[in-house]
Amino acid sequence: MAYMRLGDLLIASGVITQEQLDKALAVQKETHQRLGDVLMQNGFITERNLIDALQIQLGVEFVDLTAVSIPVELARYVPRNIARKFCVVPVKLVQDTLYLAMSDPLDFVAQEQVKAASRKKVIPMIATRQATEEELTQKAAKALDEMMRFGTTTCEAKSGYGLALEHELKQLRAIRRLQEEHPMDVTATFMGAHLVPAEYKQDRAEYIRLVCEEMMPAVKEQGIAKFCDVFCEADTFTVEESRQILEAGLRHGLRPKIHADEIEAIGGSQLAGEIGAISAEHLIVCPPEGIASMAKGGVIACLLPATSFCLGSTYAPAREMVSAGVPVAMASDFNPGSCPCLNLQLVINLGCLRYRLTPEEVLTAVTLNAAAAIDMADHVGSVEAGKQGDLVIWDAPDLDYICYRFGSNLVQTVIKKGRLV
């Protein structure tokens, strides 16, 4: 098939009219956005329409990231800052060619930066958001099963991989189904402000408006999230943008959380203390002033050592946080891009080995403090009269052995709400 311009291809396929194309081209001329982005923003086409057209036009494959297993070793070829800035994920390596899932396969700057960092040839693939609610629920249920086998009985699940109203709500509805159907206690966090999607790169303010004025009201109306999170980082959302988003969340009844200081310290941890966030995540490069702000604001530091392990990066200053009076929680951070880890025991090991916390501090971090970080310490997180009967029986002589033994599953029995699971 001869090469066709995107607009002509969509008209020939019967997806849009000439009038719609003319209107979109006029907007494109004024805003300098890509045509596909303009067409989607005006409701003339769906993401599926655009994917199908780009497949024909460019001859590239598409990949559903919910349906593939991404080898962890590929993370070293794409630095985290590049992956987040350009919304790209390495999918597979064939000889000297890296296949790269991209939200925008026409982003040649992203391709060149990945080429330079990886020293590999790059073939773009179109990343899609086509998984159904049922598929998301089934996939997440398998992950929860595995987490429970390693001793986790309660978890937080976040949206943030849809980055559009329909897909963010779909993720949160899947989490609600898990809350109803799975033995694990699951609490939901809305994180539409995870990244600025490719179609809004030229109009960040419009995407923030969409998050605050369209997504949040829908989340509140459906009652499908308890918290609002934002990724405050140099290549995602600034401190002031993050403040705007979290304050909007508060107006919609969503308690604030924040991803901060993972790659660069731009003030996210300070904001956490100022706004009274219940928790701040990552904090790998958290500065002393951030620690002080969190201590003053009563923020729980939710540290994710398996992410540092997977990426080969430094580790958060946990000892300094404890010394400053900041409660430290730890979690697995299971996600497809930087930490495909469901094993809480690895997190426990790393807490001692890399954070230099004592076994007692680590135990508190993955139980009571972790429960407090999702506002559930009143009924889980410790063995007390009046709380749920959530217990893990270990094949270990003492706590020290659990922290010491590396690479084995020492869980013998898991009891959830007083029942064997």
DSSP 384-421: -TTS---EEEESSSSHHHHHH--S---EEEEEETTEE-
Rounded Cα distance between 338 and 265, Å, is 19
Domain of 102, in residue numbers: 71-127
Q: Are residues 232 and 311 in the same domain?
A: yes
pLDDT at 1: 42
Closest C-alpha among 114, 206, 113 to residue 164: 206
Task: Tell me, yes or no, whether 34 and 122 share the same domain.
Answer: no
| Residue 280 and residue 176 share a domain | yes
Q: What CATH number does residue 89 fall under?
A: 3.30.300.160
pLDDT for the residue numbered 128: 65
Q: How many domains does the chain have?
A: 3
Greatest CA separation found in the chain?
A: 74
Query: Encoding tokens for residue 195?
Result: 């990244």
**Residue 58 has what pLDDT?**
67
Under 8 Å between Cβ of 118 and 311 = no
Are residues 113 and 203 part of one domain?
A: no
Which of the four pLDDT bands, split at 50, 70 and 90, describes residue 50? Answer: confident
Q: Is 290 exposed, middle or buried (0-12, 13-18, 19+ CB in 10 A)?
A: buried
Q: Are residues 151 and 280 in the same domain?
A: yes
Comparing 29 with 70, the larger pLDDT belongs to 29
Is pLDDT at 254 greater than 80 in this prediction? yes
Inside any domain, residue 65: no
**Residue 183 shares a structural domain with residue 217:** yes
User: Does residue 166 or residue 265 have the better pLDDT?
Assistant: 265
| Same-domain pairing of 254 and 195 | yes
At 121-132, the pLDDT tens digits run 998 887 767 778
Phi/psi region, residue 150 (left: phi>0; alpha: psi -120 to 50; beta: rest), is alpha
Query: How would you classify the pairing of strands 227-232 and 255-260?
Result: parallel
What confidence score (pLDDT) does residue 66 get?
65
Where is pLDDT greater, at 319 or 59? 319
Lookup: tokens for 276: 């009274």
Q: Where are the alpha helices (DSSP H) in 284-390?
A: 288-297, 305-311, 318-324, 344-353, 359-366, 368-373
Q: Considering the domain boundaries, does residue 86 fall inside one?
A: yes
Residue 416 forms part of a structural domain? no
In the predicted model, what is the mean pLDDT of the chain? 91
pTM for the model = 0.81
**Are 278 and 374 in a shared domain?**
yes
pLDDT in tens, 16-40: 999 999 999 998 888 777 788 788 8
Residue 59 has pLDDT above 70, yes or no: no
